[in-house]
Amino acid sequence: MSEQAETVEKPRDESPMVALLGQRAEELKPLIDSVQKSKGLLGPYDVAEHLQTRIEEFDLADSIAHFREHGYAAIPDVAPPEEMDELREAIHSLSGEITVGSPTRGASYLLGRHPAIDRIATNPKLLAFAEVSVGNGLRASQFAASIMGKAEKPIAGGIHADQNWLPAPFPEHNCVITFCIPCDGMTDEEGATRVVPGSHLMRRHPTPAEAKSETVPIEVEKGGVAVWDGSVWHGTGWRRVDGERTVLHATYQRLYTQPIDDYTYLLKDEDYMATAPEAMRGLLGERLFFGTAHAGSMVDMGKFSEATIRSKL
């Protein structure tokens, strides 16, 4: 047999890294095939081959196209009204009393504290969208809620980019994505989050002058979700009507970045993990190699190999 024939017949995925995956190699085969398809060079906002079916199933193409161009999007029909009602009840039960002189109150460190929060955190439509932005193997970063009441004037704050602890220019591959999940929908007059369209293309923080840029509201109906890129400049809205705007801010980060909140303690809670949504394990970093080395051994090479695959998607 010729050398050329031997090369042709050799299985494509017989590489040292794949061999280290052991029994997980078969489970991860769709991801391995995706990496091979893109030659490990998947561009920012590109949809990996293994993810195409879910993007079509959830009808996300238009929202992703808008997100790619403008840095934000409104995603309709993410969850049914009854789930949003349960989410609102959960947020109100976990939030403190309103602060005197402030139109808002809220709660933080929410993952693992209520089934309604965990359900939306692992919503497959949101996770498919998030993967397009911050890659496969994405991590749960920050889950916080706010309840906004009517105010006589705009809330002090200003325009900012969420990945504001990263140096500029920001990475081409986005590292942070935030979903704003309004339990009752949100309009401009109800306090919808406001963004500077296209500002994510700057890949930097706004200057003091730019912090006063013209903004537009991200309006969504009940059951829908607003989302923005970690580089896009945005700020809080101003509620000018009676009632309250109750939202969950769900932030996810790229595999190799340090999450804002540390939820890894949940992996040690056997009772919680026994009933948690299956996708929660990935969000908590169960399969990541970070911190697996010890005095007698290098890092877990199986987990390291898995990360080398997921990081390219």
Which pLDDT tens digit goes with each residue over 120-131?
999 999 999 999
Could you write out the three-class secondary structure of 262-310? CCHHHHHCHHHHHHCCCCHHHHCCCCCCCCCCECCECCCHHHHHHHHHH
CA distance 88 to 85: 5
Whole-model pTM?
0.92
Residue 100: what pLDDT? 42
- In this prediction, residues 218-244 reach a mean pLDDT of 96
Q: How far is CA 199 from CA 50, 63, 205, 232, in A?
A: 30, 17, 9, 5
User: Taking Cα atoms as reference points, which of 62, 85, 86 lies closest to residue 74?
Assistant: 62
- In this prediction, residues 238-258 reach a mean pLDDT of 96
Using the structure block, give the residue that is written with the tokens 């911190």: 291
Check: CB of residue 186 under 8 Å from CB of residue 220: yes
CA distance 184 to 186: 7
Residue 19: what pLDDT? 79
Which pLDDT tens digit goes with each residue over 261-288?
999 999 999 999 999 999 999 999 999 9
3-class SS of residue 199: helix
CA distance 218 to 187: 8
Q: Domains, the chain, ranges and CATH? A: 47-298 (2.60.120.620)
